[in-house]
Amino acid sequence: MFRPASHPRLKAVEARAPHAALGVISAAAFLCALAALPLVGAAAIHALSAAGAFSFTASRASLVSTGRELDAAAASLAADSHDRLGAWNDMVARELAEGDEAAARGVLLAAGAIVGEAARAAAETRAEGSDEAVLATVRPLLDPGLARAAEQAGVFDPIAAAPLVAAGDSRDLAVQARSFLDGRGAALTDLVLTGVSVAAPELASLFDADAAALQSGVITLKAALRSGRMQPQFLADMRTALTAVDADGRLSAGLAERLNAPEALADEPGAARAAFVQGLGATPAWARVAALLTQIDQLNDRTGWTGAVELLSHARSSADLERLQLMAEARGATVVALAKRTADPEAFIALARSDFEMTSEIQMALAGLAALLLVVMTAPIVTLVHAVLRIWGAPAPGRGDRASPDPSSAGAAGSVLDGRLAA
């Protein structure tokens, strides 16, 4: 009797079924992983490019790596000179002749990198001491006349604070407010900066800031705006931040109300100040202004306010303020001298070195990417191995359909043959 389950072809199909199922699973896994790979890769790139991944805060690692880059850049200033000490003296003399004390100070501080072996003590002092200690160490390397000129220019003195008179007072605020309200050309950016300087104590109290730092930042930013050398995007960022404080018109309306009141005739500067203070608020726009001015003041602390103006001319956007802070913290006024000699802002800002932070988002994205890559690489290998095993274990050609006969049918055939022989 015929048994379908024992048919040789069905047995071969049953034997190949596990291999076929495994092949389908491997192919499906490969295709799914291949389809998901671009999405997970894009997520990983986004996580790596996020603001928190590469931090330019002044950590020990970022200060060391940034300082190394700045030293290399300073050393390249005299790379073609056979007399590095003479070239260094010439650089100092050139900066003094131009009246740029900040850059002259920066060249002096870079003596360890520029001069080389003759200024090894300066390099060692740089690693251990303050800027004043480095200046005292390198002073004997200057020509006597040049040393006297540098001393007269105040290069060896501590960094002086920015002159507060440049920030503006209540009278300046009243004049600018009248000009702005009457449409006679006063810019809202100048009005806001003068107002911040006048109302610095009130603004500082809102955001736990330092009033003197806000005023110093105003002085530096005003000087940078007047210089006409700021990069377009950075200039746009500053104007956007400063004008955003009057986006709802509250500040300008308050100024108009106060200055047009009869009481303003007796004390217009006081009325302008009172109106500006009334226009302050704990809003994101005012917080942004306070943060930007504080960042700029931190440049003043390390390079002087004139040096900070030079640095701001190389900022491509407001995001570069953090990098400039890191560079100034690493090498002080040396950054000013390098900025004057680097025409390309991109190349200059690239001297800042970030400190990489492995966030949880980056870890998840990289883990998913690694898993998909593992599937994409192993699925074809698994399929190939099983294909080889199938070929290796397959019956020889021509014998695949000839399995051993069914015992029952063989017995029946034998009985018929015995009957015929007996007859």
What is the structure's pLDDT at 183?
81
pLDDT-based confidence at residue 361 (cuts at 50, 70, 90): low
pLDDT-based confidence at residue 238 (cuts at 50, 70, 90): very high
Q: Are residues 140 and 228 in the same domain?
A: no
Decide which of 303, 329, 344 is a domain's last residue.
303
Instruction: Tell me which residue has tokens 């960042």.
Output: 295
pLDDT-based confidence at residue 370 (cuts at 50, 70, 90): confident
Number of domains in the chain: 2
**Tens-digit pLDDT profile for residues 389-415:** 667 755 555 444 444 455 544 454 445
Q: Are residues 174 and 260 in the same domain?
A: yes
**For 356, phi and psi rounded to 5 degrees?**
-75, 135
Q: How far apart are CA 110 and CA 135, in angstroms?
A: 10
Q: Is the pLDDT of residue 422 over 50?
A: no
What is the structure's pLDDT at 356?
56
pLDDT-based confidence at residue 359 (cuts at 50, 70, 90): low
What is the structure's pLDDT at 221?
96
What is the structure's pLDDT at 116?
80
Contacts (Cβ under 8 Å, ≥6 apart) of 224 = 230, 308, 309, 312, 313
C-alpha distance from residue 349 to each of 120, 225, 365 (Å): 27, 20, 29
Structure tokens at 274: 């009172």
What is the structure's pLDDT at 9?
52
Q: Are residues 154 and 101 in the same domain?
A: yes
Range ranked top by mean pLDDT from 18-27, 105-114, 367-376: 105-114
Q: Are residues 198 and 247 in the same domain?
A: yes
Q: How far apart are CA 268 and CA 243, in angstroms?
A: 23
Q: Are residues 273 and 195 in the same domain?
A: yes
Q: What is the DSSP letter of 356?
A: E
**Tens-digit pLDDT profile for residues 51-82:** 455 567 878 888 889 999 999 999 999 888 88
Contacts (Cβ under 8 Å, ≥6 apart) of 18 = none
Model-level pTM? Answer: 0.72
Mean pLDDT to the nearest integer, 141-165: 90
Which H or E element spans position 291?
Answer: helix 284-303
Q: Is the pLDDT of residue 126 over 80?
A: no
Q: Is residue 181 part of a domain?
A: yes
Contacts (Cβ under 8 Å, ≥6 apart) of 34 = 376
Q: Is the pLDDT of residue 23 over 70?
A: no
Q: Which residue range is the domain that position 222 belongs to?
A: 164-303
Q: Are residues 195 and 209 in the same domain?
A: yes
- Judged by DSSP in three states, 319 sits in coil
Q: How far apart are CA 232 and CA 237, in angstroms?
A: 9
Q: Are residues 173 and 233 in the same domain?
A: yes
Q: Are residues 216 and 297 in the same domain?
A: yes
Residue 127 vs residue 262, higher pLDDT: 262
Q: How far apart are CA 87 and CA 267, in angstroms?
A: 58
- Which of these, 191, 373, 382, lies nearest to 272 by C-alpha position? 191
